Amino acid sequence: MKIELFSPILIPFLTAIFLLFAWGRIRLQRVVSVTGAAALLVSSLVLLLTVHGDGIQAGQVGNWPAPFGITVVADIFSAMMVNLTGVIGLSVVFYSLSNIDREREHYGYHPLMHVLMMGVNGAFLTGDIFNMYVWFEVMLIASFVLMELGNEKAQLEGAIKYVTLNLMSSAFFLTAVGILYGVVGTLNLADLAVRFRSEVDCPMVRTVAVLFFLAFGIKAAVFPLFFWLPASYHTPPAPVSAIFAGLLTKVGVYALIRVFTLLFIQDPVLTHVLILAAAGFTMATGVLGAVSQNEFRRILSFHIVSQIGYMIMGLGLATPLGMAGSVFYIFHHVIVKTNLFLVSGAASKLGKSYDLKKLGGLYGRYPWLAALFLIPALSLAGVPPLSGFWAKLLLIKAGLEAGRYTIVGVALVVGLMTLYSMTKIWNEAFWKPGKDVASPPGPSISRAALALTVLPMAGLALTTLAIGIDAEILLNLAAGAADQLMDSSLYVQAVLGGGQ
Amino acid sequence: MEAVLSILVGGLYGAGVYMMMRRSIVKLIIGLALLGHGSNLLILLMGMLTRGRPAVIPPDQTQLVSAFADPVPQALILTAIVIGFGVLAFTVVLIRGTYKTLNTDDLDQLHMTDSIHPKNGE
Q: pLDDT tens across A226-274, in order?
A: 888 888 888 888 899 999 998 999 999 999 999 988 888 777 777 788 8
Domain boundary assignment for chain B: 2-51+69-114
Phi and psi at A127, nearest 5°, equal -115, 30
CB contact under 8 A, B102 and A153: yes
- Taking only the tens place, the pLDDT of each residue in A265-280 is 777 777 788 889 999 9
pLDDT for res A13: 93
- Please report whether residue A261 resides in a domain: no
* Arithmetic mean of pLDDT over chain A: 86
Per-residue pLDDT band at A200 (split at 50, 70, 90): low
Query: Which one has a higher pLDDT value, A115 or B61?
Result: A115
Q: Quick check: B118 pLDDT over 70? A: no
pLDDT in tens, A356-400: 777 777 777 888 888 888 889 989 888 888 888 899 999 999 999
pLDDT-based confidence at B122, cuts 50/70/90? very low
Residue-level pLDDT at A499: 45
Query: Of A116 and A444, which is predicted with more confidence?
Result: A116
- Would residue A406 count as lying in a domain? yes
Average pLDDT over residues B12-27: 91
- Cα–Cα distance, A361 to A343 (Å, whole number): 15
Model confidence band, residue A500 (pLDDT cutoffs 50, 70, 90): very low
For range A50-57, the mean pLDDT: 86
| Closest CA in chain A for residue B99 | A156
A459 inside domain: yes
State CA A135 to chain mean position distance: 15
Contact between residue A425 and residue A299 where contact means Cβ atoms under 8 Å apart? yes
The pLDDT value recorded for residue A263 is 85
Q: Which of A148, A169, A174 to mutate to test the interface with B (most CBs of B within 10 A)?
A: A174
B28 neighbourhood in chain A, CB within 8 Å: 160, 164
Q: Do B87 and A153 touch (CB under 8 A)?
A: no
Number of inter-chain CB pairs under 8 A, A vs B: 124
Distance CA A488, CA A66 (A): 16
Average pLDDT estimate for A129-137: 92
User: Residue A16: its pLDDT value, please?
Assistant: 92
Contact between chains at A144 and B94 (C-beta distance less than 8 A): yes
Q: Total structural domains in chain A? A: 1
Q: What is the pLDDT of residues A16-48, one digit of tens each?
A: 999 999 888 888 888 999 999 999 999 999 999
Residue A396's domain comprises: 267-434+446-487
Class of domain B2-51+69-114: mainly alpha
Burial B68-97 (b: 16+ CB within 10 A, else e): ebbebbeebbebbeebbeebbebbeebbeb
Q: What digits encode the pLDDT tens for the residues A72-128?
A: 889 999 999 999 999 999 999 989 888 888 888 888 889 999 999 999 999 999 988
Inform me whether the C-beta atom of residue A305 falls under 8 Å from chain B C-beta atoms: no
Angstrom distances, CA of residue A307 to CA of A253, A303, A446: 11, 6, 36
